[in-house]
Amino acid sequence: MYRKNNDLDIQTFSEKMLEWSKKNNRSLPWKDFRDPYSIWISEIILQQTRVNQGLPYFLSFIERFPNVESLAAASEDEVLRAWEGLGYYSRARNLRKAAIQIMDGYKGVFPKTYKDLLSLKGVGPYTAAAIASFAYEFPYGVVDGNVKRVVARIFGYTDDIDASSTVKEIQTLVHEAVSYVLPSAFNQAIMDFGAMHCLPRNPGCGDCVFQDHCFAFENNMVSTLPFKAKKIKRQSKSIHMAVYTDGTEWVITQENSVSFWKGLYTFPMLSAEQQLNIESYELLDTMEWNLTHRKLTLYFYKIDKNRLFCEENQGWTIVKSENLRKFALPRPLRLFLNKNSCNLGLKENNDQQGNIDR
C-alpha cells in the first residue's frame, strides 16, 4: 500500500485544511468542550448517528448522567432507557462499564494518556484520539468515515478503504498531519470538511481548496473513491411477538436471546410451537425494520392477557400502561405502541425523539 499523490506534502495538507475551516466553521454544541467526559459521550453517540439526530440524545444523556460518577452508579436498565432510540445498544452498555472502570481503576479521574484511554471498554483508536486531542491537545489524528474519504481522494488510496492495511496507512498520515498544527483544530477541520464539503455524492470540487492537489479530481476518480469492497448482504429475519394486554397492563420480558436487543425489554416472542397455531392469534401489525446486517420483519399478535398463564411465562414482567415508558424498548416496539395506542387502550404515547433506523 502506498499513496499515489506525492505532490502534496503533509504539512501543506494540514495548513490548507485549517485555512478551509476558518472560512467554513460548523457550529456544534460540543466543539469547544475540553471536558473529556462530555467529549467521550458525544463521540460515542456520533459513531453511528447523524449530528442532527444525535444532538437531543446527547443533551438529555448529559443531563441524566452529568459525570462519570453518576454514570457508573446507574443500573444497566437506566442507561439503556436513556439510550433508547439511538440503537447499537452495546455502546450504552460499554459506556457504563467504562465509567465503572474509571471509578475503580483511576479513582474517578478520566485517563490522560492515549494508552489508558484505549484500555476503556468500547473505546477504540478513533474515540481515544478524539478525547486525547480535543481534551488534552495530544497529537493523535482521528480517522472516521469522513476522514477516510477525504484522505483517499486527496492522496489517492485506491485499495479497499476498510481494509486494515489501508486504515493503518491513513492513520499514520493523519497522525503526522496533526503534528504540524493544533491537533484539536485539525481533527475538527477534517471531520467538518468531510461532512460539509467532500461529500460521498456531489462533493464541492468546483471551489475546493485542494483542487490543484487532489488525486481523485485530477484523475476523474471522485465518484469511485473511496473504494469499498462489496457490502455484506443483510440477512432477513422474521420475529413474531405476543402482545399480551388488557389495555391497562402489559407483559414484557428482558431480552437475552436476540443479540441486537440484548438487555432491552420486548414483548414475549412466540415459540416455534406457538407459531404453528399462529392463525388463532389476532395480527395487529407488521413492520419492516433495517439494522446494519439484518432486515427484520416484525409481526405483532394480540393475545388476551387471560391466556398468559397457559403459556410459558418464566421471566415475564407485568407492567401498567403508565409505567411502560420506564422500560427501555427497541425503537420499533416504541413506534408500534405509539401507532396502536388507541386500538390497544393505551393512552396516547407521543414520542418526542426522532426516528433513528436501529
Amino acid 272: pLDDT: 81
43 in active site: yes
Q: Is 358's pLDDT higher than 50?
A: no
**Spatial CA neighbour of 13 closest among 21, 24, 25, 1:** 21
6-15, 22-31, 202-211, 293-302: lowest mean pLDDT where?
22-31
Residue indicated by cell numbers 467538518: 192
Sign of CA dihedral 121, 126, 132, 134: negative
Q: Which three-class secondary structure state does DSSP give residue 306?
A: helix
Mean pLDDT, rounded, for 41-47:
91
Q: Please report, for the chain, the start and end positions of each structural domain, with discontinuous segments joined by +.
A: 10-218, 235-339
Q: Annotate 158-179 with DSSP letters as a single string.
A: -S-TTSHHHHHHHHHHHHHHHT
CB neighbour list of residue 300: distance below 8 Å, 6 or more residues apart = 241, 243, 267, 283, 284, 285, 286, 287, 336, 340
Mean pLDDT, rounded, for 72-97:
94
Q: What percent of the chain has pLDDT over 90?
A: 65
Amino acid 350: pLDDT: 44
pLDDT tens string 215-236: 999 999 999 999 998 777 788 9
CATH class of 235-339: alpha beta
Q: Is 260's pLDDT higher than 50?
A: yes
Q: Is 44's pLDDT higher than 70?
A: yes
- Let me know: does 285 contact 339? Beta carbons within 8 Å: yes
10-218 is a CATH 3.40.630.30 domain: no
Q: Is 291's pLDDT higher than 70?
A: yes
* Side-chain half-sphere CA neighbours of 82 within 13 A: 23
- Let me know: does 328 contact 80? Beta carbons within 8 Å: yes
Q: Is 351's pLDDT higher than 70?
A: no
Q: How confident is the model at residue 48 (pLDDT cuts 50, 70, 90)?
A: confident
User: One fold for both 10-218 and 235-339?
Assistant: no
DSSP letter for 7, please.
Answer: S
pLDDT tens string 329-350: 999 999 999 888 776 766 544 4
CB neighbour list of residue 261: distance below 8 Å, 6 or more residues apart = 89, 255, 330
pLDDT tens string 186-219: 999 999 999 999 999 999 999 999 999 999 999 9
Of these ranges, 123-137, 276-290, 310-324, the one predicted with the greatest mean pLDDT is 123-137
CB neighbour list of residue 9: distance below 8 Å, 6 or more residues apart = none
Amino acid 20: pLDDT: 96
Q: Quote the CA–CA distance of 13 and 263 in Å, as a whole number.
A: 45
Considering the candidates 15, 43, 63, 76, report the single residue annotated as catalytic. Answer: 43
Q: Give one word for 242, left, alpha or beta, with left for phi > 0 and alpha for psi -120 to 50.
A: beta
Amino acid 3: pLDDT: 66
- Let me know: does 291 contact 331? Beta carbons within 8 Å: no
Mean pLDDT, rounded, for 21-39:
84
What is the per-residue burial (b if ≥16 Cβ within 10 Å, else e) of 79-100?
Answer: bbbbbbbbbbbebbbbbbebbb
pLDDT tens string 103-161: 999 999 999 999 999 999 999 999 999 999 999 999 999 999 999 999 999 999 999 99
What mean pLDDT is reported for the chain?
88
Q: Quote the CA–CA distance of 188 and 346 in Å, as a whole number.
A: 46
Q: Quote the CA–CA distance of 292 and 316 in Å, as a whole number.
A: 29
Q: Is 310's pLDDT higher than 50?
A: no
Amino acid 154: pLDDT: 96
